[in-house]
Structure 1
Amino acid sequence: MDNLPAKKTNDHLANERTFLAWIRTAIGIMGFGFVVVKFSLFVKQVSIMLGRETAIQQKGYSAIIGVILVAVGALTSLLAFINYKKVKRQIETDTYHSSPALITGITFGIILVSMLLIWYLIKSV
C-alpha cells in the first residue's frame, strides 16, 4: 500500500474498519454463546446444590445453542476475513462491486439462531 493515491488509501482503510467491525460482531456472538453455555452449567450446579436431581435429567438445549452461537461467531470471523481479502483485491484492481452475500448470510444465520432461542424460551416457560 506504499505510494497509493489518497482515494485508494481511504478505500483500504475503510475496508479495514469494516473488517474490524465484523470481527467485533463475531467476538460478541461468541461471547454470548459462551455465556449461554456457562449459564446452562450454572443452572445444573444450582440444581445439584438444591437437591433437585430431576432438573439434571431434563434435556436442555442451552448448551447446544451456546455452542452453535460460538460456531456462528467463528464462521463470521472466517467469512469477514475472506470478504476483506476479496474487497482488498478489488480495490487494488479498480474492479470493486458491492456484494451483500456476507451481510445476507450472517443476517439470516442470526435470525435463525434467534428463532431457536425464542422457541426454546417459550417452550421452557
Structure 2
Amino acid sequence: MANERTFLAWIRTGVALIGFGFVIAKFALFLQLLKGVKGTGNSVLFGEVMILLGGAVIAYGLLIYHLTEIDLNNGTYKSRHVMNSVFAMIVLITAVGLALLVI
C-alpha cells in the first residue's frame, strides 16, 4: 500500500508541474493579448520545460513503482538512493538552467 501511495504522490507532483507549465505558457499569451506586445519572451519556453519536467516525473515515478513492486514480490527490496539522487540532480540542473535564463 505504501508503494501505491508513493506512486500516487509522484503522479500528483507530475500533474501539478504540468498544470503549472500550462499556466506559465498561457499567461504569457494572455499578457501578449492584453498589452498588445509582440513576443512572449521566455515564458512559453519555461512553460514547455515545466510540462516536460512533469511528464518526466510521472515516468520516473512509474519506473520506481514497478521496480519496487518487483522487489517486494521477490522479497529483495533495496533502496534506490543512487537513482533518486541522479533524478534529483537532473531536476536541480533544469531548475538552475531556467533560473539563469531569467537573468
What TM-score do the two structures reach when normalised by structure 2? 0.86
Identity %: 30
| Deviation of 1:47 (Å) | 2.4
Q: Does 1:62 align with 2:43?
A: yes
User: Given the superposition, is the C-alpha separation of residues 32 and 113 from structure 1 closer, same or farther in structure 2, using an over 3 Å criterion?
Assistant: farther
Equivalent positions of 1:25-44 (< 5 A) are 25-44=13-32
Matched residue, 1:76: 57
1:101 and 1:33 map into 2 onto residues whose CA distance is 28
Contact 1:19/1:84, CA 8 A, preserved across alignment: yes
In structure 2, stretches of 5+ residues that fail to align are none
Equivalent positions of 1:100-111 (< 5 A) are 100-111=81-92
In structure 1, stretches of 5+ residues that fail to align are 1-12, 49-54
Matched residue, 1:5: none
> Which whole-Å deviations, capped at 9, do the CAs of 1:79-113 have from their partners, x for residues lacking one?
11111011001001011110124432442233233
Larger Rg: 1
Matched residue, 1:45: 33
Instruction: Report how many aligned residue pairs link the two structures.
Output: 103
SS of corresponding position for 1:56: coil
What TM-score do the two structures reach when normalised by structure 1? 0.72
